[in-house]
Amino acid sequence: MSSYSSLSQQQTNQPVPQDLDFLINDLRFPPQNMSVKKVLGYILHYLPYVKQEQNLRLLLSAFLNNPTCFGSVRNSIQAPANFDEIYLIIEVFKMVADTKLKISQPSISIKKWYTVVGKELHNFLAFDPTVNGWKVLPIIAGLKLSSPLRDDLYTKRNYISYGWFFSDWDSKMTQLFKTGLSSGCLSDIYPTDITNLSLMSLGIFHDVDQNILSFTEGLTSEKFVVHRLVDMLVSIEPKIRHTFFEQDIADTTIIFNDPILKHINKISLLLESYLKRLPITTGRQTDVNYEFVSYTVGRILEFNRIINHMSQNSIKYNTPNRGIVKEPAMDNYWYVMKSVLFGQTLIFQGILTGFVTNRNSIIPLYKDIALKILQNLYYLNFILLSIGQGGFDSYNFVYYLTIEVALDGGASGQFEHLTSYLIGDYRELNLFNVHRNYIMRSKVLFVMGLWENYLNQQQRNKNVKFAQEQISPVCFSLAQNHPAGVDFDVIESAHSVLLSLFSRNKKDVNTQEVMEYINLVLEQFPLLLSANQLSIAIETIGKFILSNMSRPNLDGIENMEYVQSGLEFLDFLFNRCFHAKPGLNIGSNNSFTTINTAQPIAKYEANSTMSHIEDESAGDNMIDIIDSNKKKKPKDLYFGPQWEKSKKEKQQQREKERASEAFQERLSPETIREALVFSFINLIPYLPLSILTDWLEKIWILIEKSNPSEGQFLIKILWRVISENLDLNRCELAYTWWYEEKKIPEKL
């Protein structure tokens, strides 16, 4: 046989290269046109379906050594790709694992597949930990994202076969992940893109119940990590600007594929874990920690200011989605905004947790940070209002604790200056345009909430001048009917603040201002205020004025100024009741039951929020809250077409109330005259003993001037107050008047 024929036969017997051989060669020695997406496409197409263990090892090894995705830090064969591209490694390996888990009859078993992948990652890292450390992190993080599906399909269904195996595998991956972090990737030595990818992987892999220091202690400083994480968070601002405000792109796929936005909650939880460990306490690091935390909050503040102003200057996004026209861009915008709010709430929670968990916290320094946090919440309040006034536990914790820190010790000068600036700076809002501008309106509501809290907390150390010259005139103006339109939220919040001012500052309120306020309340009833709201306002003011009638002056003699004011108030109210026409129904749109607080949620309802930070499951609950709230429709405003809608809803509610009242004794007024006299009757417990009988006589005159139906109702209310709400001294006088002087039971 000739040598030629022998050589030809040898070539015929050699194996023909397969597609996988060409792929492995291209991965190790990529052509010039090879992109990251193309490489990852190959991995997603082949890795879940490989039928032999050896091929699985070869393919994974070739990918780990692929210069297109990973490059080299020391010997730069090819510069690493940018963060947005190499982040896709995480997503692809999640999809690879998901695909593998869903194959019903895999050639390589699930256990064997995970075992081979784990060993290959371990061997690759052990070969050169310094160079290869960061490369295994996104792969492990991607596999971690697939764990819920893995547990649902395998662990929960057959724990004996898979539970212990995956528990051991997860433990090995945790140790491998920590070893990868120790390569130095969390330092300035590595490019920013690699550091950001490593931090993103850490945020995904780290569970909230794990000690973050077990991952990074001794490897890098907390300040370096926090600085980089904040850089990542604020980096989404240009994309938000481009998507929603410059281009108004209907297709928002680009921004929703942004890694930072997609995992903003995980990044925020990671930030929270580090900020907890930067307490501002007595010691060497006091100034360093304070300056760093203050700088961090300041950077977030600038981000929020930009987002707020862009939204405020936008015609499209300055009004919540009313649901009339379904706009994907609007829904997507609110999704992004709510993601920002939830994420930042976690960050501020971490700072405040560091405060409450350290006994040596320096309160004056925390007060400065608390004021910056309040300013952040001021810019974010338009997002909170779109969720609903109830807020959520983490936000309520941040809101109330921040106010308490800012007002600690009664030194409230900085707080007063800040709130005056926030509501008075023309660059932020115009009080005359609040009723037409949703975001300005949200800022006003936020400041009024701060003022109400200030008035409630600062009973002894309150700056009377600030309350009289700043709070009172602004809120009185906002409580009035505005020609630009009706905004019930603003009006109710303003009333709530004014009532807090009058009820908690009995000595220094100008009586003339009180009378002007009562006149305003009566003018707004029944169009804007309900009968119950009217009664609350009059009783609050009446308690203030009438209790001062019995307060002696410095000489121990009856103070005639207060007596005169009280009598003037009673006469004024009597005249309004006397001239009210009988039989005029209040109307079906009068369905408000209370004057809503200006704060996000009543404080007594939020007291439990401080305890949840000590709960080990707090992080999981937080994520549930985030997921369940992100796509909620923003709350509608009370003007324009929505006003007509609200009228119908109120009418339906009123009809339901009437139906239920038909089967029980009526306790609520139905006519304007009933409501006015009803409010007057509720002042009886506060009348001084010296004038009690006289004013009972005048109230009886009002009842007699009413029509029979009104009179019957008002007599029942009068008896209820006399029999249930009076102290012993007043009760004795009232009983004598009721039974002996008027002999009312005999007339019924």
pTM: 0.85
Instruction: Using DSSP, state whether 525 is helix, strand or coil.
Output: coil
At 743, phi and psi to the nearest 5? Answer: 50, 50
Residue 410 confidence class, pLDDT cut points 50, 70, 90: low
User: Quick one: average pLDDT of 569-590?
Assistant: 87
CB 574 within 8 A of CB 698: yes
Average pLDDT over residues 321-350: 83
Predicted confidence at residue 364, as pLDDT, reads 86
pLDDT at residue 588 in the model: 59
What per-residue confidence (pLDDT) applies to 373? 97
Higher per-residue confidence, 243 vs 76: 243
Among 46-60, 417-431, 495-509, where is mean pLDDT lowest? 495-509
Question: Which is more confidently placed, 628 or 90?
Answer: 90
Cβ–Cβ under 8 Å, residues 509 and 612: no
Unique residue bearing structure tokens 């193309």: 38
Residue 54 structure tokens: 């050896």
Residue by residue, DSSP assigns 575-630 as HHHHTSPTT-B--TT----S---SSSS-HHHHGGGGGGGG-TTHHHHHHHHHHHHT
Please check whether residue 128 is in contact with residue 74, taking contact to mean a CB–CB distance below 8 angstroms. Answer: no
- What mean pLDDT is predicted for residues 396-420? 88
Q: Which of 96-105, 242-251, 285-294 has the highest mean pLDDT?
A: 96-105
The whole-number pLDDT of residue 330 equals 83
Which structure tokens are listed for 472? 């009172």
Buried/exposed 514-526: b ≥16 CB within 10 Å, e otherwise: bbebbebbbebbb
Tokens 């064969």, located at residue = 77
| Model confidence at 205: pLDDT above 90 | yes
Distance separating the N- and C-terminal Cα atoms of the chain = 136
What are the structure tokens assigned to 443, written together?
């800022």
pLDDT score recorded for residue 249? 66
Q: What is the pLDDT of residues 540-554, one digit of tens each?
A: 999 888 877 765 554
Residue 18 in this model has a pLDDT that exceeds 60: yes
What is the reported pLDDT for 555? 47
What's 409's DSSP letter? G
Q: Does the pLDDT of residue 688 top 70, yes or no?
A: yes
CB 186 within 8 A of CB 149: no
DSSP sequence for 665-706:
---S--BHHHHHHHHHHTTGGGS-GGGHHHHHHHHHHHHHTS
pLDDT beyond 90 at 184: no
Higher pLDDT, 632 or 600: 600
Kindly tell me if the per-residue pLDDT of 201 is higher than 90: yes
Question: Residue 512: what pLDDT?
Answer: 81
Report CA 508 to chain centroid distance, whole Å.
Answer: 36
DSSP state of 149: H
Residue 558: per-residue pLDDT: 52
Question: Which of 355-364, 440-449, 625-634 has the least mean pLDDT?
Answer: 625-634
Q: What is the pLDDT of residue 631?
A: 37
Q: Angle at CA 312, nearest 5°, toward 307 and 318? A: 110
- pLDDT score of 215: 92
Residue 524's alpha-carbon distances to 55, 491, 519, 672, in angstroms, are 80, 10, 9, 12
Helices and strands in the chain: count of H runs, count of E runs: 37, 0
**Mean pLDDT lowest for which of 75-79, 119-123, 312-316, 406-410?**
75-79
Question: What's residue 633's pLDDT?
Answer: 36
The lowest-confidence range among 142-151, 189-198, 610-619 is 610-619
Q: At what angle do helices 692-704 and 708-724 cross, to 10 degrees?
A: 160
The predicted structure's pLDDT at residue 356: 87
Rounded to whole angstroms, the Cα distance separating 614 from 594 reads 34
Asked if residue 526 has a cis previous peptide bond (ω within 30° of 0), the answer is yes
pLDDT in tens, 630-654: 333 333 333 333 334 444 555 556 5
User: Which tops the pLDDT comparison, 387 or 199?
Assistant: 199
Token duo for residue 585: 């129904």
C-alpha closest to that of 446 among 504, 503, 384, 402: 384
Q: What is the mean pLDDT of residues 261-271?
A: 95
CB 440 within 8 A of CB 430: yes
pLDDT of residue 610: 36
Identify the pLDDT of residue 77.
Answer: 36
What is the average per-residue pLDDT within 144-172? Answer: 94
Bigger pLDDT: 416 vs 566: 416
Question: For residues 664 and 469, which has the higher predicted lDDT (pLDDT)?
Answer: 469
Higher pLDDT, 283 or 532: 532
Of the listed ranges 216-230, 330-344, 499-513, 634-648, the one predicted with least confidence: 634-648
Residues in the chain: 748
pLDDT over 50 (residue 55): yes
Domain ranges of the chain: 15-216, 221-388
Measured distance CA(595)–CA(587) in Å, rounded: 18
Per-residue pLDDT, averaged over 407-430, amounts to 88
Distance of CA 277 to the CA centre of its chain: 23
Contacts of 427 by beta carbon, 8 Å cutoff, 6+ apart: none
Within 10 angstroms of residue 740's Cβ, the number of other Cβ atoms is 8
Q: What is the mean pLDDT of the chain?
A: 83
Q: Does 626 have pLDDT greater than 70?
A: no
